[in-house]
């Protein structure tokens, strides 16, 4: 059976796919931002056993583009201000196409040394942008969760050795839930993850963290790592990274910073100060599929002492070639759990080469400026209280009026978020933080510009009017 297509067939299929993709991108601003996700019946109808016979491509593209894709959040759309927006810049799609058709083996350096060097370059660019030293080694992962897992693995190996069970990890009660999942994957059970209650700014209080470390030591446990947040998902809070770095240095603990949402704000001078101390982390989670606007599936980890990352993953096999210059060249499978892998670095490399770093700095600055402007305008709407101003590009707020109970305010804030999103131009979501439901806006899509902020204000103002009778 010959599974190869002829050059003419490949060209025709590629043309069919790219013309659908380009039409999709061109129509993103007109597409409803929330999609029609009430699709349980459709999902049941889609179930089928593996087809025995071949299909033509066009009906499959029809199914994807006309039926399935519209029943999704329009996360690539310009009005997506929900959760933490992703990206989907076009150069990354080109990189994936090249990587998937060429299909190089990038697990070991010898198999594709020049290509792996491009991936190493991309990791070095991240290192430089984050202010990490030359000793740093990194790893591209599928996302922030797997980056955090690999960072915690390094911390555990370095500080606990084989004595895992007594080790305690500290984070705040605002940390992303990937911390507890990652800890479990790294052998640190949930009862050894100490969540320090946040302060009124949703940040981890250093005094309470210090007290928790000392109390656990007195119980005979072994504090070994702190995970702080460079931008929480709930409210965008940035923990006091510099002070936590000082505490970790004094206590001999590993400091991992979760920069999945916020680390790329290191690129702009106006937010670099908020992130002071990030460059001192022992390890850092990055999500290029957020702050670099790449498509989902691109996370990254930086480890300040690269030998810790290598020690956590180094392994060889009799059938593999020996790495000739481990200090000089980067070997992905010696720095991460995967042997056979795709070529994640190509997305980052091609995208940065095609745009240039200056374009990223400008885009990140623009998102920050739009968020500041949106927060200022929303704070002026009647009955809106800002709970967390934008430290980076995410802020949180709730609806309030005299005599309202917390339950009234939560109900009204939920209604405001739902009704604003229902208008179909922007999508916003809330979160529960410190016992209150807060509305939130996160500006991070590369497609979000002034027009979407104006639409947000217009639709939120109209939604506020709609819920007013319920409030009075």
Contact footprint for ligand PLP (CB under 6 A): 84, 143-145, 176, 178, 229, 231-233, 258, 260-261, 287, 299
Q: Tokens 């970790």, residue? A: 248
Q: How far is the CB of 436 from ligand PLP (least distance, A)?
A: 20
Q: How far is the CB of 139 from ligand PLP (least distance, A)?
A: 14
Q: How far is the CB of 179 from ligand PLP (least distance, A)?
A: 8
Four-residue CA torsion sign, 457, 365, 86, 78: positive
Between residues 187 and 297, which has the closer beta carbon with respect to ligand PLP?
297
Q: Enumerate residues 6+ apart whose C-beta is below 8 A from 160.
A: 166, 167, 222, 224
Q: How far is the CB of 328 from ligand PLP (least distance, A)?
A: 31
Between residues 239 and 459, which has the closer beta carbon with respect to ligand PLP?
239
Between residues 160 and 392, which has the closer beta carbon with respect to ligand PLP?
392
Euclidean distance between CA atoms 296 and 293, whole angstroms: 9
320: its two tokens: 């593999």
Between residues 176 and 310, which has the closer beta carbon with respect to ligand PLP?
176
Residue 274's Cβ-side half-sphere holds a number of Cα atoms within 13 Å equal to 25
DSSP calls for 61-91: HHIIIIIITTSS--TTSTTB-SSS-----HH
Query: What region, left, alpha or beta, does residue 172 occupy, with left being phi > 0 and alpha being psi -120 to 50 degrees?
Result: beta
Between residues 107 and 231, which has the closer beta carbon with respect to ligand PLP?
231
Contact 190, 183 (CB under 8 A): yes
Q: How far is the CB of 439 from ligand PLP (least distance, A)?
A: 17
139: its two tokens: 């790893």
Between residues 77 and 143, which has the closer beta carbon with respect to ligand PLP?
143
Intra-chain end-to-end CA distance of the chain, in Å: 72
Contact 143, 297 (CB under 8 A): yes
Q: How far is the CB of 260 from ligand PLP (least distance, A)?
A: 3
Q: Enumerate residues 6+ apart whose C-beta is below 8 A from 122.
A: 140, 345, 348, 349, 352
Contact 263, 269 (CB under 8 A): no
Q: How far is the CB of 178 from ligand PLP (least distance, A)?
A: 4
Distance of CA 196 to the CA centre of its chain: 22
SS3 of 348-373? HHHHHHHHCHHHHHHHHHHHHHHHHH
Between residues 364 and 464, which has the closer beta carbon with respect to ligand PLP?
364
Q: How far is the CB of 236 from ligand PLP (least distance, A)?
A: 9
Q: How far is the CB of 188 from ligand PLP (least distance, A)?
A: 17
Q: How far is the CB of 86 from ligand PLP (least distance, A)?
A: 9
Query: What region, left, alpha or beta, does residue 236 occupy, with left being phi > 0 and alpha being psi -120 to 50 degrees?
Result: left
Between residues 247 and 260, which has the closer beta carbon with respect to ligand PLP?
260
Between residues 192 and 440, which has the closer beta carbon with respect to ligand PLP?
440
Between residues 290 and 425, which has the closer beta carbon with respect to ligand PLP?
290
Q: Enumerate residues 6+ apart whose C-beta is below 8 A from 439.
A: 396, 397, 398, 399, 413, 416, 417, 428, 430
What is the number of residues in the chain? 472
């Amino acid at each position: 059976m010959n599974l190869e297509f002829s050059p003419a067939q490949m060209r025709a299929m590629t043309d069919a796919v790219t013309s659908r993709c380009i039409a999709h991108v061109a129509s993103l601003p007109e597409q409803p931002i929330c999609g029609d996700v009430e699709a349980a019946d459709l999902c049941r109808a889609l179930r089928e056993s593996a087809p025995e016979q071949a299909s033509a491509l066009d009906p499959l593209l029809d199914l994807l583009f006309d039926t399935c894709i519209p029943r999704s959040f329009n996360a690539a759309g310009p009005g997506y201000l929900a959760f933490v927006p992703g990206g989907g810049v076009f150069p990354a799609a080109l990189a994936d196409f090249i990587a998937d058709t060429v299909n190089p083996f990038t697990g070991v350096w010898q198999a594709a040394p020049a290509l792996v060097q491009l991936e190493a370059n991309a990791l070095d660019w991240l290192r430089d942008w984050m202010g990490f030293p030359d000793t740093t080694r990194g790893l591209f992962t599928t996302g922030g969760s797997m980056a955090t897992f690999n960072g915690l693995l390094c911390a555990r190996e370095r500080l606990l050795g084989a004595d895992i069970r007594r080790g305690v990890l500290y984070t705040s009660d605002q940390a992303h839930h990937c911390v507890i999942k990652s800890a479990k994957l790294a052998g640190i059970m949930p009862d050894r993850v100490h969540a320090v209650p946040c302060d009124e700014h949703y940040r981890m209080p250093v005094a309470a963290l210090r007290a928790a470390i000392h109390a656990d030591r007195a119980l005979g446990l072994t504090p070994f790592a702190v995970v702080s947040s460079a931008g929480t998902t709930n409210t965008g809070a940035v923990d006091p990274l510099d002070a936590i770095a000082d505490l970790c240095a004094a206590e001999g603990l590993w400091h991992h910073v979760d920069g999945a949402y916020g680390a790329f704000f290191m690129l702009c001078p106006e937010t670099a100060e908020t992130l002071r101390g990030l460059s001192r982390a022992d390890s850092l989670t990055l999500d290029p599929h957020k702050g670099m606007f790449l498509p989902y599936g691109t996370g990254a980890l930086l480890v300040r002492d690269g030998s810790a990352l290598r020690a956590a993953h180094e392994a060889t096999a009799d059938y593999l070639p020996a790495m000739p210059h481990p200090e000089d060249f980067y070997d992905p499978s010696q720095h991460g759990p995967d042997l056979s892998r795709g070529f994640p670095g190509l997305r980052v490399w091609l995208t940065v080469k095609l745009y240039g770093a200056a374009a990223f700095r400008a885009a990140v600055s623009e998102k920050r400026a739009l968020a500041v402007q949106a927060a200022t305008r929303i704070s002026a709407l009647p009955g809106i209280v800002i709970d967390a101003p934008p430290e980076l590009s995410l802020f949180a707020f709730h609806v309030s009026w005299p005599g309202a109970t917390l339950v009234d305010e939560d109900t009204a804030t939920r209604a405001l978020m739902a009704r604003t999103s229902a208008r179909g131009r922007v999508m916003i979501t809330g979160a529960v933080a410190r016992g209150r439901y807060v509305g939130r806006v996160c500006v991070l899509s590369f497609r979000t510009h002034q027009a979407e902020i104006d639409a947000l204000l217009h639709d939120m103002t109209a939604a506020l009017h709609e819920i007013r009778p319920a409030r009075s």
